Amino acid sequence: MSVSNGSVSKAGDWRSYQRVLLPPVKDLHKLEVYEQHGGYASLRKALTDPAWTPQAVTEEVKKSGLKGRGGAGFPTGLKWTFMPPVNPDVPRFLCCNGDESEPGTFKDRQLMEYNPHLVFEGMILASYAMSVKTSYLYVRGEYADWISHMERELEKLYAKGYVGKNIMGTGFSTDLVIHKGAGAYICGEESSLMESLEGKRAYPRSKPPFPAQRGIWGYPTTINNVETLACVPLILEKGGDWYAKIGAEKHPGPVLYGISGHVNRPGVYEYPTGMLISDLIYEVCGGIRGGKKLKALVPGGSSTPVLRADMIDGVTMDADGLRAAGSMMGTAGMLVLDEDTDMVSFLRRITHFYHHESCGQCTPCREGTGWLENIVTRIDEGEGNLRDLDLLLDLCSQMEGRTVCALADAAAWPVRYTVERFRSEFEARCRPSLVSVPETAALPA
């Protein structure tokens, strides 16, 4: 057990942790191999054992404490109960979100490559739990190779009668469709994903109505992340209690940490939630490249607030731990930045991304993302003024919480927190001011 500054890892004896999402089994992506290792037993159990009614499956997921792995960390079982009561005349849908486009996030791809059947089985189980007759696996267009790879396996699954009509002869039928996205970050936002699925321009929808009320084609829909659904067969196999005991108590389960940046061994690592950040960097990833010092960490994909090295002592990777530290778990896609990192140009790259990816629907996001990039670029090029820093923060306030979807927040947070937490570095980059700095550059009221 690692101890740092008196804080304790919530991941227990993580060194002896046995991987369940990505177990070390050769060719596990093949249906035959997956079945040999107990694959589709959970599905068979749910469909054949009368005790496993759809409600019972949902209850088990609730009991597990599973929280969505798509970024917002919403309790999965609770989300499923938002679906209205079954009405045979009204279709309902499930959508598995494999759009994975947040910079620093690359863990769903790993599941789709090495353990696609766990995802399929999770989708079919969730379809059963919510009485869904069609589920979609929406995969980002750039993952074309992974799509064809999964399509081959899905074909086998249909041939075997594990999906489609009368699954395993139990009378339960549900279809699974793999849909290729057309290449935009915004397609990962659940309501724009549905528009995209319907063949429309991927503009997020104004909510309410929420997907469970009006989703794909206007019908009740649930959207879950790839990793979220991959947990479901495990929960059914080993029990919700088992799952709830893994990692952090209030945010349990195995997690795929996608660690990139200046570490010796970047990659996707499966460990329980609640790992100490220091353990992940120094133990799991073999420390900072070239023996350098840590400067900053973005814990959960590019939109989560950056933490300074001095802020991560004793901080664990779970919702509570990161909230206390001043950030968020997001997708657990960790960006590790060493002491040589230029925070201004780091932020410049991030603002460029969000500027490029704003769908352009809402005024604050469409206009604000570009303006943020303009200003950060100017600072990076040594042409910025000190007042630009306050302007940046003010612009963030103009965007946060005022748009149709959360992309505007995702764009504003990195700016807000990078400027606030590395202010002196930004100030040093600005043009020297000969007069005293004005208090703020806020708009006249």
Partner 1 sequence: MPTITIDGVAHEFEAKQALLQFCLDRGIEVPHFCYHPAMSVPANCRQCLVEVGMTEVDRETRQVKFGEDGKPIVRFLPKLQTSCSQEIADGMVVRTHRTSDLVARAQKDTLELLLINHPLDCPICDQAGHCPLQIQAYKYGPEGSRFEFEKTHKPKRIELGPRVMLDGERCINCTRCVRFTGEVSKSHQLTIIERGVRNYPMTPPGVVFDEPYSMNVIDICPVGALTSVDFRFKARVWEMSKTASITVSNAKGSNCWYWVKDNRVLKVTPRDNEQVNRYWLPDEDRLDYERFNDGRLSGPVVDGRPSSWDAAYAAAAEVLGSVEPASILFLGSAHASVEDNWLLSRLATHLGAPAPVYIPHVDPGHGDGWLRTDDRTPNARGCEALGILPIDADSVRKRLSSGAVKAVYVLEEDPIASGVFSADDLGSAPVIVHAWHTDNRTLAAAKVGLPAAMVVETIGTFVNEDGRAQRVRPAKAIKGVNRTLMMEVGKSRHDLHGTPFDRWYDETNLVDCQPGWVSLPAVAARCGLELSYRGPKDILAEIAGSNEAFRGVSYEAMGESGVRLQETAQTA
Ligand X SMILES: Cc1cc2nc3c(=O)[nH]c(=O)nc-3n(C[C@H](O)[C@H](O)[C@H](O)COP(=O)(O)O)c2cc1C
Contacting residues toward ligand SF4, per CB under 6 A:
186, 204, 358-362, 365-366, 403-405, 407-408
| Torsion sign over Cα 100, 102, 106, 108 | negative
Q: What angle do CA 132, 215, 167 make, to 5 degrees?
A: 15
Residue placing its CB nearer to partner 1 in the complex, 308 or 378: 378
Interface positions, 205-224, toward partner 1 (CB under 8 A): 205-206
**For the chain, what's the residue count?**
445
Residue at shortest CB range from ligand SF4: 365
Hey, which residues between 71 and 130 contact ligand X (CB under 6 A)? 71-72, 74, 79, 97, 99-102
Instruction: Tell which one of 363, 381, 423, 433 touches partner 1 (CB under 8 A).
Output: 363
Measuring CA to CA, how many Å separate 8 from each of 12, 243, 379, 420? Answer: 9, 20, 40, 28
Q: Minimum Å distance from CB 439 to ligand X?
A: 34
| Contact predicate 127/43, CB 8 Å | no
| Other CB atoms within 10 Å distance of the CB of residue 206 | 12
Comparing CB distances to ligand SF4, the nearer of 308 and 366 is: 366
With a CB cutoff of 8 Å and minimum separation 6, the contacts of 273 are 10, 11, 246, 247, 248, 251, 252, 253, 254, 255, 317, 318
Contact string (CB under 6 A) for ligand X, positions 143-182, x = contact: ----------------------------------------
Q: Which of 201, 225, 125 is nearest to 167 (CA)?
A: 125
Query: Does residue 5 come out as left (phi exceeding 0), alpha (psi in the -120 to 50 range) or beta?
Result: left
Give the nearer residue to ligand X in terms of CB position, either 188 or 233. Answer: 188
The piece of 1-9, 68-76, 172-180, 359-367 that touches partner 1 (CB under 8 A) is 359-367
Residue 445 interacts with which of ligand SF4, ligand X, partner 1, none, CB < 5 to 8 Å by class: partner 1
- Other Cβ atoms less than 10 A from the Cβ of 356: the count is 12
Which of 181, 124, 111 is closest to 150 using CA atoms? Answer: 111
Q: Does 186 bind ligand X (CB under 6 A)?
A: yes
Binding mask 193-232 for ligand X (x = CB under 6 A): ------------------------------xxx--x----
H runs (alpha helix) in 276-385: 277-278, 319-325, 343-357, 363-380
Summarize as ranges the residues that interact with partner 1 (CB under 8 A). 184, 201, 203, 205-206, 355-364, 366-371, 374, 378, 391, 398, 401-404, 441, 443-445
**Residues contributing to the site for ligand X (CB under 6 A):** 68-72, 74, 79, 97, 99-102, 186, 188-190, 223-225, 228, 405-407, 410
